Each structure stands twice: as C-alpha cells, then as structure tokens.
Amino acid sequence: MSHSGRWTALAVAVLWLAVLASAAGAIWSRHRSRELFVELEQLNRQRDSLEVEWGQLQLEQSAWSTHAFVERVATTRLNMGTPDPERIRVVGP
C-alpha cells in the first residue's frame, strides 16, 4: 500500500468514526430531550395541582375570616357573648 493510500484509509476511518460519534450524539441528545420533556410535563402537572390547592386554601381562609364565622365560633366554642349594655364602659381621652 502506498503512502497516499494509507492516508486515504486513515482519513476514511477517522471520518467513519466521526460519523458514528455524531450519530451516537444525536441519539443521546434525542433521548435526553424526551427525558426532560417528561420531567417538564410532570412538573407542570404538579404546578397545576398546587395552584388548585392554593385556590382551595384561599377560599377556606376567606370563609374562616368572615364576621359570621368568627362570631359563631366565639359563641359556640368559646361561650362568648355580647355583654349587657350597662356593663360596657367607654374609656376615652
């Protein structure tokens, strides 16, 4: 085999390895892309679930902070009531 034939064979081998490496990189890149997409979809579902829970908690907080609810809890659980008018003392400057 001549000197130029060896260089040609070496160049073909190197180019062939480069093509194989490029194909392997493309396959790995596509696989990684799919993994990341699946993870993104899972995180989106988790975000949506947390947003629903947040909305429910806001509604619950709103219901608990209404005047009627606070008054009902004060009356039933704490046995509180409005004092008689003659027992009320107004303190002012």
Q: Is residue 90 part of a domain?
A: no
Q: Is residue 84 part of a domain?
A: no
Q: Is residue 60 part of a domain?
A: yes
d(CA 38, CA 63): 38
8 A C-beta contact, residue 13 and residue 6: no
pLDDT in tens, 59-72: 999 988 888 888 88
pLDDT in tens, 2-29: 778 899 999 999 999 999 999 999 999 9
d(CA 44, CA 37): 10
H helix intervals, 2-79: 3-64, 67-76
Q: Is residue 35 part of a domain?
A: yes
pLDDT in tens, 26-55: 999 999 999 999 999 999 999 999 999 999
Whole-Å CA distances, 42 to 11, 36, 52: 46, 10, 15
Q: Is residue 16 part of a domain?
A: yes
**End-to-end C-alpha distance for the chain, whole angstroms:** 114
Domain count, the chain: 1
Helices 67-76, 3-64: axis angle to 10 degrees equals 60
Q: Is residue 61 part of a domain?
A: yes
Q: Is residue 91 part of a domain?
A: no
Tell me the residue range of the domain where 13 lies: 3-79
What pTM does this model have? Answer: 0.57
Q: Is residue 45 part of a domain?
A: yes
